[in-house]
Amino acid sequence: MTYQFYGWENAAVPAVTDEYGRFGTPRELYDALSEIWCADTCAPRMRSKWTLENRTLGQCSITAFLAQDIFGGKVYGIRRPDGNYHCYNVVGDCVFDLTSEQFGEETLVYENNPEQFREDHFAKEEKRQRYEFLKEALKRRCAE
C-alpha cells in the first residue's frame, strides 16, 4: 500500500509497548487511526471543516503523543501562521507525521523545530480529553 503521510517510506520503527496491541510500524498505527479519527477527535477550532476525505485535519497533537506512547521518541512542532504548532514524531533518525495529509500540497519543514511536551498541550482540558478518547478508541479497536 502507498501511504501519503510524511515519512511513510521510512516509518518502520518498532513499538516499545504492546499496551495498544501489536503495532509493528507507524504505518499500521495510521491504518488503525484512519478508522477512528472523527469530528470528535478534531481540534474544536477546525471541527466545522473536518470531513472523511480530510480525516487527519485537527488531529496532530493527540496523534503525535499517542504515537510517542507506542513508539517512543520525541514530538516536535512546526510553527504555523496562526501561532499554533503542528506536531509530528521523531524516533531515532526516523521522522514521521501521521497527520500531514491535512495540508495537501503544502510543504512543511521537518527540521530545526522545537520539541513539544504533553504537559503544555494537555494543559488544555479539551485536548487532553480528545487524547484520552483517541487512546481508548484505539485500545477498543485493538481488542476486537
Whether 3 maps to a domain, the answer reads no
Whether 94 maps to a domain, the answer reads yes
Whether 64 maps to a domain, the answer reads yes
Q: How far apart are CA 126 and CA 52, in angstroms?
A: 22
Q: State the sign of the Cα–Cα–Cα–Cα dihedral 42, 48, 51, 57.
A: negative
Q: How far apart are CA 112 and CA 99, in angstroms?
A: 19
Long-range contacts of 13-16 (CB under 8 A, 24+ apart): 13/71, 13/72, 13/73, 13/91, 13/92, 13/94, 14/71, 15/70, 15/71, 16/70, 16/71, 16/72
Whether 15 maps to a domain, the answer reads no
Is residue 5 a contact partner of residue 98, using CB atoms and an 8 Å limit? yes
Whether 95 maps to a domain, the answer reads yes
Domain housing 125: 25-143
Whether 17 maps to a domain, the answer reads no
Give me the pLDDT at residue 142, please.
86
If one counts the domains in the chain, the total is: 1
pLDDT tens column, 33-92: 999 999 999 999 999 999 999 999 999 999 999 999 999 999 999 999 999 999 999 999
pLDDT at 2 over 80: no
Whether 73 maps to a domain, the answer reads yes
Q: How far apart are CA 11 and CA 7, in angstroms?
A: 6
Whether 107 maps to a domain, the answer reads yes
Task: Give 55's contacts (C-beta < 8 A, 6+ positions apart).
Answer: 34, 37, 38
pLDDT tens column, 67-78: 999 999 999 999
pLDDT tens column, 90-136: 999 999 999 999 999 999 999 999 999 999 999 999 999 999 999 99
